[in-house]
Structures are given as structure tokens and as C-alpha cells.
Amino acid sequence: MRYVKAFGRFWWDFIVGDDWTVAAGVAVALALVAILAHSGFNAWWLLPLAVVLLTGLSVWRQTRPG
Amino acid sequence: MSTGTILIVAGSFLASAVEMVEALTIVLGVGVVRGWRSTLIGAGAAGLVLAVLVAALGPALGSIPISTLRLVVGALLLVFGLQWLRKAILRSSGYKALHDEDEAFRRERAEAEAAGSERRAGLDWYSFTVAFKGVLLEGLEVVFIVITFGSAQGHLTIAVVGAAVALVVVVVAGVLARGPLERVPENTIKFAVGLLLTSFGCFWGAEGAGATWPGDELSLLGLIAFLGGFSWLLVRALRRRRLALTPARASA
């Protein structure tokens, strides 16, 4: 069990890293693009916008004084 | 050769080069102090494991439908690439220490000198395990990038060639320099790789989710320019914030 946990932890750190909210935000943004595409809207602009928002928020939070 | 293919070769080459430079520093630090035989066997064994991973996973991914593959690969690349990009932004703005190969080499040497000697299977076990782990861990990122880049675009061989050329260039440069490659602009390359990974992640992720990009693959160049411009503005804003806080902290 210890090895399974360590293996899972390694891949979590490898892919997701130190801010899980970015990964969650990417998942939500991709789901929105898919929902909009199935409703007939071509939302190609949504992911770059999500990247700007998620990166800005994550970096700003990490460098907050105090 | 299409825009996407050229960018895949560039991405694989740069990502591999920057990771190989870090792996080379570890191998050199151990090899110089403790001898080359066990160190090179460790590095070679890790290289073999990485090659087997690419050979096994690459063709397996080719059997997945392209839209599903692009959605999954896009999501993974986006999350993974944003890690690189955020770290690069923090380094450039002074919030995170720049990676220093010379310092890493000195640390590696000191640890190799201090470590005890234990022999297993006729090998200096410290040299073998440190070289193996170092090359494997740095190489895993290369494997991840090569497989995702290559499979989503349907050009795994081209991505592998980009990585292989980087390996040869870094090893030859290391042998010629007889030391760590501290003059390689590692932090700038990491910034470029972060931008490429994030842009490809956006491109394939949106395509896999059902969206179509205006201008098809040419929009990759627009994405790189847009995200590059945003990152530059963010670095400037963070630098200003850091400088504004420094005198306030000093006087507190």
C-alpha cells in the first residue's frame, strides 16, 4: 500500500505540481469548451483566456507578501 | 514541413536539451569524484529504461482515436506546461532562484565525496544509483514531452529525433567542456519550453474538446505570441511589486 501511495504521489507531483487549483481550472475550462462545442459554439478562445486567468491568479497568490 | 511539425521538433529538442544538461551535471559530479564505470553503467541503464518506455507507450497511444488522444494529451500538456511556465515567470521576476549548474555541480561533488563506499554486483552502489536516478528523473520529463508531442501530432519519430539530437549535442558539449554546461541559458530555454508546452496543450485540448482553431496550425504561432506577451507583462508586474516591497521590508 505504501508503494502504491508513493507511486501516486510521484505522478501527482510530476503532472500537477504545487498548485492543484490550476489543474482543476484546466479541467473546468476543457469541459466548458466541450459543452459549448456540442451546443454549436466554437469556443477556441476559452482555453487561452483560462490560461491567462489561472496563471495570473496562481503566480499572484504565490508571491503575495506576508 | 508544417508549422506544427517544426514546433514539435523545436519543443522536443529544447526540452530534452535543458533536462539533459541537468542530468549531465549529476553524472559529471559523481563520475569525476568516484570514477566513471559505475556512473556510466547507472546512466546507461536509466537511458535504456527511458528508451523502452518510449518504444512501448508511443505505438500504444497511436491506437487511441485522435480526438480522444488530443483531449487527454492537451489536458496533460496544459497542466504540465503551466508548471514550467509559472516557475519560469517566478524565476524571471526574481521570486524563485535561477537554476545554477555550477552550484549544482559543486553540491553533487561534495555529496559524492562525503558518501560511504558500498559495493553491490561489482559496482560502486552510490555512483550507480545516483546516476541512474538522476538520468531517469530528468529523462522522464523528456519522455513525457516526446510521447505527448509525437503521438498527438502523429509524428512520434520526429519528436524522438529532436530529443536524440539534443542528447548528442549536450553529451558532446559536456565532453568538450569537461565540466557542467553553466553557460547554457537554461532559464530562458525553460521559459520557451513552458510556452511551447502550454500553447500545444491549449491547441490540442480545444481541438479534442470539439473546437476548431481559426487558421488551423498557424494559430499555434498566435497562441505562442499571445501567451508570451502575457508572461512578459506578468514578469514586469511581479518585478515592480517585488521592488516596491523590498524597501518596505528593509525598513520594517
* Domain containing residue A48: 17-62
pLDDT in tens, B141-152: 888 888 888 887
Q: How many CA atoms lie within 13 A of B162 on its CB side?
A: 25
From residue B98, how far is each of B7, B81, B239, B245 by CA, in Å? 26, 18, 15, 20
Q: Residue B249: what pLDDT?
A: 56
| 8 A C-beta contact, residue B89 and residue B231 | yes
Domain contains A43: yes
Domain contains A28: yes
Burial degree of B123 (CB within 10 A; 0-12, 13-18, 19+): middle
Q: Does the pLDDT value for residue B90 go beyond 90?
A: yes
Nearest by CB to A54, from B82, B211, B214: name it: B82
For range B226-235, the mean pLDDT: 95
Q: How far is it, in rounded angstroms, from Cα B118 to Cα B123? A: 8
Enumerate the residues of chain B whose CB falls inside 8 A of the CB of residue A36: 211
User: Which of A41, A51, A58, A61 is the best residue to mutate to test the B interface, defined by the most B CB atoms within 10 Å of its own CB?
Assistant: A51
Q: Residue B58: what pLDDT?
A: 77
Q: Residue B251: what pLDDT?
A: 56
Instruction: Specify which of A22-36, B14-28, B87-101 reaches the highest per-range mean pLDDT.
Output: A22-36
Model ipTM value: 0.91
Q: Are the beta carbons of A63 and B93 separated by less than 8 Å?
A: yes
Q: Are the beta carbons of B226 and A62 separated by less than 8 Å?
A: no
pLDDT band at residue A58, thresholds of 50, 70 and 90?
A: very high
Angle at A50 between CA B150 and CA B62, to 5 degrees: 20
Q: Residue A66: what pLDDT?
A: 65
Mean pLDDT, chain B, whole residue set? 86
pLDDT in tens, B99-128: 777 788 888 888 888 777 777 878 888 999
For residue A55, which of B232, B24, B26, B155 has the smallest C-alpha distance? B232
Q: Are the beta carbons of B230 and A52 separated by less than 8 Å?
A: yes
pLDDT in tens, B14-64: 988 888 888 888 998 888 888 889 999 999 999 999 989 888 887 787 778
Domain count, chain A: 1
SS3 B182: coil
Domain contains A8: no
Q: Are the beta carbons of A44 and B83 separated by less than 8 Å?
A: no
From residue B164, how far is each of B46, B47, B143, B171 by CA, in Å? 15, 11, 11, 11
Enumerate the residues of chain B whose CB falls inside 8 A of the CB of residue A56: 234
Domain contains A56: yes
pLDDT band at residue B230, thresholds of 50, 70 and 90?
A: very high
For range A45-61, the mean pLDDT: 94
Residue A60 contacts by C-beta under 8 Å, 6 or more apart in sequence?
none
From residue B156, how far is each of B87, B146, B152 by CA, in Å? 27, 7, 9
Domain contains A23: yes
Distance (Å) from the C-alpha of residue B32 to the closest C-alpha of chain A?
A: 30
Task: Between B236 and B66, name the one with better pLDDT.
Answer: B236
pTM of the complete model beyond 0.80: yes
C-alpha cell at A10: 510521484
pLDDT band at residue A64, thresholds of 50, 70 and 90?
A: confident
Least confident of B3-7, B136-140, B142-146: B3-7
Least confident of A6-10, B14-18, B166-170, B218-222: A6-10
| B51 close contact with A: CB closer than 8 A | no
Residue B74 contacts by C-beta under 8 Å, 6 or more apart in sequence?
A30, B152, B200, B201, B202, B203, B204, B205, B206, B207, B208, B209
Q: Residue B113: what pLDDT?
A: 80
Angle at A33 between CA A25 and CA B216, to 5 degrees: 115
